[in-house]
């Protein structure tokens, strides 16, 4: 049985990675009601070589998992992701001035999904802001509806519901596709939030709950890459197993990396090696080719209240 708990509703425990999540999320059991008879861990990960290219020929003997200091080599299942089962959403932050070339980046990203990768049009959505609220610009008809053309050249300054929109989109993506679908949210933003009811913690938790990986493209100028907004974007991506791109012109790069990485994404299941409560740090290490690199959530939280 896969690990599950309920937090207002049941959701997979193995999705709870705390990389970059403030301690309050993982360490405060008072807000949670746990219900589990867990015997199995499921873990999704991607593999790249020394040139950061996806490795689509990985074998189960090529890696081992270290789960809370226990080495796991015997997996109950090992599968590669189905290339057609990818749900993608693009979040375009329009809270400030948006340069025309960024809109062109968006159009190019939509074309990449539909043409280069062969991902069905119905698997792509675009979200943005409508004043203080999230706005779904398209869902499955982004090219036909010319949704990119409806993105305003300038947004409402000072109204930036970034965290609310991430929570909204993660929930939206969680209800699309089937249980085997991978879900990716590409965020083009400067990382600044001014009006959300949700916090950064809530945004990360929402992505975890929906099993959504965040790839963040930093729209800050290169001189501001050490800003608080840039730190937020790094936090969002690292906590969910995604990637951070510093270049404001990195839309195509991010989409290419996401699509290539998905072709080298795998799912494993293994028996829970320990019922010790608390956070189980998970690492994936190569067994033969030391140039292999793995990207995944950094672990899961096993509850200390079971009923």
pLDDT at 14: 41
Tell me the per-residue pLDDT of 79-97, one tens digit each, with 9 for 90 and over.
Answer: 887 656 788 899 988 776 4
Count how many Cα atoms sit within 13 Å of the Cα of residue 36 in the half-sphere of its side chain.
26
Whether 90 and 105 share a structural domain: yes
What are the b/e assignments for 177-187, b being 16+ CB within 10 Å?
beeebbbbbbb
Give the span between the Cα atoms of 44 and 74, in whole angstroms.
16
Q: Can you tell me the mean pLDDT for 16-34? A: 39
Give the span between the Cα atoms of 146 and 159, in whole angstroms.
25
The closest of 205, 141, 136, 142 to 165, measured between CA atoms, is: 136
Question: Could you tell me which residues are beta bridge partners of residue 48?
Answer: 54, 293
pLDDT at 27: 40
- Return the minimum-mean-pLDDT range out of 29-33, 160-164, 288-292: 29-33
Instruction: State pTM to two decimals.
Output: 0.74
Q: Check: CB of residue 200 under 8 Å from CB of residue 239.
A: no
Give domain status of residue 295, yes or no: yes
Give domain status of residue 106, yes or no: yes
Tell me: pLDDT of 51 over 90.
no
Give domain status of residue 307, yes or no: no
Give the domain extent around 249: 86-263
What is the tally of structural domains in the chain? 2
Whether 198 and 254 share a structural domain: yes
Give domain status of residue 60, yes or no: yes
- CA distance to 3, 165, 186, 258, per residue, from 254 (Å): 31, 20, 8, 6
Whether 94 and 140 share a structural domain: yes
pLDDT at 17: 36
First to last CA, the chain: 16
Give the span between the Cα atoms of 111 and 118, in whole angstroms.
10
Give domain status of residue 19, yes or no: yes
Query: For residue 157, what pLDDT band results from cuts at 50, 70 and 90?
Result: low
Average pLDDT, the chain: 77
Residues sharing a CB contact under 8 Å with residue 150, sequence separation 6 or more, in sequence order: 137
Whether 214 and 181 share a structural domain: yes
CB atoms within 10 A of CB 33: 12
Whether 58 and 92 share a structural domain: no
């Amino acid at each position: 049985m896969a690990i599950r708990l309920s937090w207002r509703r049941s959701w997979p425990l193995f999705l709870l990675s705390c990389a970059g999540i403030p301690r309050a999320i993982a360490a405060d059991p008072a807000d949670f009601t746990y219900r589990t008879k867990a015997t199995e861990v499921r873990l999704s990960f991607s593999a790249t070589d020394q040139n950061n290219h996806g490795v689509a020929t990985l074998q189960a003997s090529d890696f081992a998992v270290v789960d809370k200091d226990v080495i796991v080599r015997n997996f109950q299942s090992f599968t590669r992701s189905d290339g057609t089962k990818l749900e993608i959403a693009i979040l375009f932050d329009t809270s400030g001035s948006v340069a025309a070339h960024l809109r062109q980046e968006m159009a190019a990203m939509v074309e990449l999904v539909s043409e280069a990768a062969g991902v069905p049009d119905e698997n792509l959505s675009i979200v943005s802001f409508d004043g203080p609220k999230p706005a779904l610009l398209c869902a499955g008809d982004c090219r036909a509806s010319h949704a990119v053309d409806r993105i305003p050249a300038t947004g409402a300054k000072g109204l930036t519901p970034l965290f609310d929109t991430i929570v909204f989109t993660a929930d939206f993506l969680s209800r699309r596709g089937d249980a085997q679908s991978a879900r990716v949210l590409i965020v083009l933003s400067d990382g600044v939030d001014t009006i959300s009811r949700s916090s950064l913690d809530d945004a990360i938790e929402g992505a975890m709950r929906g099993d959504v990986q965040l790839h963040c493209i930093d729209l800050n100028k290169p001189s501001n890459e050490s800003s608080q907004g840039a730190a937020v974007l790094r936090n969002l991506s690292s906590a969910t197993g995604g990637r951070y791109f510093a270049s404001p012109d990195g839309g195509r790069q991010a989409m290419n990396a996401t699509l290539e990485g998905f072709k080298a994404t795998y799912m494993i299941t293994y028996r829970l090696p320990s019922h010790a409560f608390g956070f189980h740090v998970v690492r994936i290490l190569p067994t033969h080719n030391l140039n292999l690199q793995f990207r995944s959530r950094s672990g899961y939280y096993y509850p200390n209240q079971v009923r």
